[in-house]
Amino acid sequence: MPRVRLIDIRNFRCLKTFTWRPAEGLNCLIGPGDAGKSSVLNAIDLCLGARRNISFSDTDFHGLDVTEPVSISITIGELDDGLKSMETYGNYLRSFNAATGVIDDEPEHGAETVLTLNLTVKSDLEPVWTLVSGRSEAQGQTRYLTWSDRIRLCATRIGAYAENDLAWRRGSVLTKLSDEKAETSGAMAEAARQARATFGDMAEKQLSVTLGIVGDTARDLGIDIGAHPKALLDAHSVSFSGGTIALHNEDGIPLRGLGTGSARLLVAGLQRKAAKDATIILIDEVEHGLEPHRLIRLLHSIGSKEEPPPLQAFLTTHSPVTVRELSANQLTVLRHGKDGHKAVLVGSKPTIQGTVRMCPEAFLSSSVLVCEGASEVGLVRGIDQFRASQGTITMEALGLALVDAKGSDNIYSRAKAFRSLGYRTNVLRDDDVQPDKAAEGIFVKVVGAIFKWRAGRALEDELFDALPFDAVTKLLEYAVTLHGEELVGEHIKSISAGKLTLKDCRASITKDIRACLTKACATKSAAWFKNVTAMEHCGREIVGPALAKCDAEFRAIVEGVFAWIEDGRS
């Protein structure tokens, strides 16, 4: 069961340099859009594909620089006896050290025997496939796999349209399920002849006027087509070649008419059945056309929960469902840095896995702001929506994801998880309850300044103290809308020991009333705004519009958060 051990890509599309040691089983590339995930799958497909003709253009070269050739090298391990044959490939057999990732031209004891396949495209745009061997190159020798071996190693690509694999075409998954072949050439040829003759008899009656005009015109021009031209089915159109035999349901309806998602799901399942002869599978945007429950079924069908893995799968996704369903050691973040692209394995540590389960959508972003709780998440979202209404670019457009750490105890473990994978990361927290000082110190040392409310304050303290009086009144009225006058009034009466009522708070916003509302708002049994939806409304309709009139220190914190978000575009 051949497996890819090492991938090396140079100067292909957006990939200047990229080297990756994939896992033996499922490898799902994640990260922000335009990171190069699809280009990696395309490179694998082009190098391992069993196609005689492939068209390349200048746009396939990195930066349109055709002076630097495209080079895609893929090292294959777990070779069967045929691929390890000394007579066939002796000079091209190499060794791979799994511990170090080092490849040597000389097979070594204790190391795995491998073959390295290379595709090179130069400025003439002609693709050249070769096997890599320093020994043979020094002797001026080159060769590639036999055609039968190319077909055996060919990666199966399940694209947006999987209909090609639902017919008995060369290389389709149906041809890999068994050795059965339908010997139909004679019967098909006779069926084609009968179809042409039957149609001709019908067409001669239905198209007689047109046929007469054709005959007269040909005679006038001296073109000999006989006395009576016929309308027959084109012999080429009625020929039967690859794909003539296709899957149909019990009512005779072709399965290529299945929905996109159903077709991909079926082909993925069939690919699993054909794993003995086709072990490498490629699926770009695995969620395409599938509801969440069927997406999970597809992942299971290709062995996402099995050990040892039946297939080596290369996937890309923009779906949080996929990220949540897979284990952290099946996820790889594709990063683009100054020195080219690199693959960062998410890993299998419990803290990482927990973060993957809790906030999968954040792994599809480029920047992450870890918020202490739902209130901070809602506030930032709401202010961002207000800013967007004033013409400012949204945080989503800048690739930012907000993460709810669900308390100060988790905030730095979540932030550390993202930071370790190369995500641009910061935190926004309350200051009434202190997090682990050592963890915060380490994070600040790496990242720089964090965002937190003023000393000893939670978000509620900031809002009722920093907002102008008309905005505080709006907060109070919104609380009444959410919870009713009776509950809000009871909270105010209880906190003030009966000294204040809802009517008093509506009449005037004094310093004492601000302090009372701060505590009443945070009543544990029914906090006024302690969820994303409520605080999002506050941010969009109250805090955002009033920010310019807020206390200067509070305004500076909020503006600092959004300045950091906007820095992510550079």
Peptide bond into 310 cis (omega under 30): no
What distance lies between CA 182 and its chain's CA centroid? 39
Instruction: Enumerate residue ranges in the chain where pLDDT < 70.
Output: 160-164, 168, 170-171, 181-189, 192, 196-197, 199-201, 203, 211, 219, 221-225, 231-245, 250, 252-253, 274-278, 570
Residue showing tokens 């036999």:
146
Judge contact between 111 and 104, C-beta under 8 A.
yes
- Please give the model's pTM, rounded to 2 decimal places: 0.84
Judge contact between 48 and 117, C-beta under 8 A.
yes
Strand pairing category for 400-404 and 340-345? unpaired
Residue showing tokens 């967007």:
388
Long-range contacts formed by 47-53: CB under 8 A, 24+ apart? 47/72, 47/73, 47/74, 47/117, 47/118, 47/119, 47/129, 48/74, 48/117, 48/153, 48/154, 48/155, 48/280, 49/154, 49/155, 49/157, 50/147, 50/150, 50/151, 50/153, 50/154, 50/171
In which element (H, E) is residue 267 found?
helix 260-273
Residue 243, φ and ψ in degrees, nearest 5: 95, -5
**SS3 call for 454:** coil
Question: So what's the pLDDT on residue 167?
Answer: 75
Rounded Cα–Cα distance for residues 385 and 536 (Å): 9
Strand partners, 6: 75
What distance lies between CA 58 and its chain's CA centroid? 26
Judge contact between 17 and 9, C-beta under 8 A.
yes
Residue 441, φ and ψ in degrees, nearest 5: -60, -40
Judge contact between 279 and 308, C-beta under 8 A.
no
Rounded Cα–Cα distance for residues 223 and 51 (Å): 42
Rounded Cα–Cα distance for residues 507 and 130 (Å): 84
Rounded Cα–Cα distance for residues 380 and 35 (Å): 26
Length of the chain: 570
Question: So what's the pLDDT on residue 235?
Answer: 53
Cα–Cα nearest to 336, from 119, 62, 98, 71: 62
Question: So what's the pLDDT on residue 420?
Answer: 92
- Within 10 angstroms of residue 188's Cβ, the number of other Cβ atoms is 16
Cα–Cα nearest to 416, from 426, 407, 406, 408: 426
Q: Which residues of 545-563 are buried (b: 16+ CB within 10 A; e: fewer)?
A: bbbeebeeebeebbeebbe
Question: 547: which DSSP letter?
Answer: G
Domain map (residue ranges) of the chain: 3-162, 365-567
Rounded Cα–Cα distance for residues 246 and 184 (Å): 13
Question: So what's the pLDDT on residue 107?
Answer: 79
Strand pairing category for 312-316 and 280-283? parallel
The CA-based angle 18-22-24, given to 5 degrees, is: 165
The architecture in CATH of the region 3-162 reads: 3-Layer(aba) Sandwich (3.40)
The CA-based angle 307-311-312, given to 5 degrees, is: 105
Judge contact between 11 and 69, C-beta under 8 A.
yes
In which element (H, E) is residue 150 found?
helix 147-153
Strand pairing category for 367-371 and 400-404? parallel
Question: 10: which DSSP letter?
Answer: E
Number of helices and strands in the chain (H, E) = 21, 17
In which element (H, E) is residue 340 found?
strand 340-345
Kindly report the three-state secondary structure assignment for every residue of 459-508.
HHHHHHHHCCHHHHHHHHHHHHHHHCHHHHHHHHHHHCCCCCCHHHHHHC
Alpha helices per DSSP H over 60-114: 86-89
Cα–Cα nearest to 176, from 159, 157, 151: 151
Cβ-proximal residues to 453 (8 Å cutoff; 6+ apart), any chain: 429, 430, 431, 459, 461, 462, 554, 557
Written as one letter, the residue type at 214 is V
Written as one letter, the residue type at 224 is D
